[in-house]
């Protein structure tokens, strides 16, 4: 499939349109394809390989010179103006997913809590302590009793070798258990 895509990518009408215009408007293949596309080897190869002939593209935010997007495909039934309206509404959340993905790949990698003998529940409590929540609020968020939260805090403090919340958060950051504070 990858070989097919790469061999015919430059001919694809939607990709050519977005490369030439830098538009971010969702379009259906029917809106940009000429008669020569429907007769081309690229069209026949794609139709034979995946059995679809109608596509709708949703272009996403990208760096200059790059094209990113989502292409939906189906057989025989073209995309309506209403489909294009929905595609335009879907673009902002898809851009947000792409932004989160980029952040995940550029964020510093955190240490493995298991190396410090911290349990997943203790890490959840630590993260909520970092948000400034009280033991009561953490208990509500995690659906556990306040006394259980306090026990997790005790265990955290012991394992991190500290005596209070502020020291625990500083030590956790120093150990790369929590992301750095962005100022």
Q: Hey, what domains does the chain have and what are their CATH numbers?
A: 2-92 (no CATH), 113-174 (1.10.10.10)
pLDDT for 67: 83
Angle between helix axes 146-160 and 165-174 (nearest 10 degrees) is: 50
Average pLDDT over residues 27-41: 91
- Going by pLDDT thresholds of 50, 70 and 90, the confidence category of residue 109 is confident
Measured CA to CA, the distance from residue 121 to residue 148 in angstroms comes to 10
* Among the ranges given (23-37, 53-67, 72-86, 156-170), the one the predictor scored with the smallest mean pLDDT: 53-67
pLDDT for 44: 86
Measured CA to CA, the distance from residue 102 to residue 86 in angstroms comes to 25
Burial of residue 48 (CB within 10 Å: 0-12, 13-18, 19+) is exposed
Measured CA to CA, the distance from residue 143 to residue 160 in angstroms comes to 24
Measured CA to CA, the distance from residue 121 to residue 149 in angstroms comes to 9
Q: Which residue's entry shows tokens 């990208």?
A: 62
Compute the mean pLDDT over every residue in the chain, rounded to the nearest whole number.
88
Please tell me the pTM assigned to this model: 0.56
Measured CA to CA, the distance from residue 134 to residue 141 in angstroms comes to 10
């Amino acid at each position: 499939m990858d070989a097919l895509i790469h061999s015919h990518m430059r001919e694809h009408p939607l990709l050519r349109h977005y490369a030439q215009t830098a538009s971010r408007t969702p379009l259906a293949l029917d809106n940009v394809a000429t008669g020569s596309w429907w007769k081309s080897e690229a069209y026949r190869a794609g139709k034979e390989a995946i059995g679809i002939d109608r596509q709708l593209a949703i272009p996403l935010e990208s760096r200059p010179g790059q094209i990113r997007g989502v292409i939906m495909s189906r057989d025989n039934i073209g995309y309506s103006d209403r489909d294009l309206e929905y595609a335009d509404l879907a673009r902002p959340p898809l851009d947000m997913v792409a932004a989160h993905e980029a952040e995940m790949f550029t964020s510093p990698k955190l240490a493995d809590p298991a190396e410090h003998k911290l349990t997943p529940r203790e890490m959840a409590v630590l993260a909520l302590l970092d948000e400034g929540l009280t033991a009561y609020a953490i208990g509500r968020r995690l659906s556990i009793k306040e006394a259980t939260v306090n026990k997790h805090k005790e265990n955290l403090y012991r394992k991190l070798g500290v005596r209070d919340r502020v020291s625990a958060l500083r030590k956790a950051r120093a150990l790369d258990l929590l992301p750095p504070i962005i100022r």
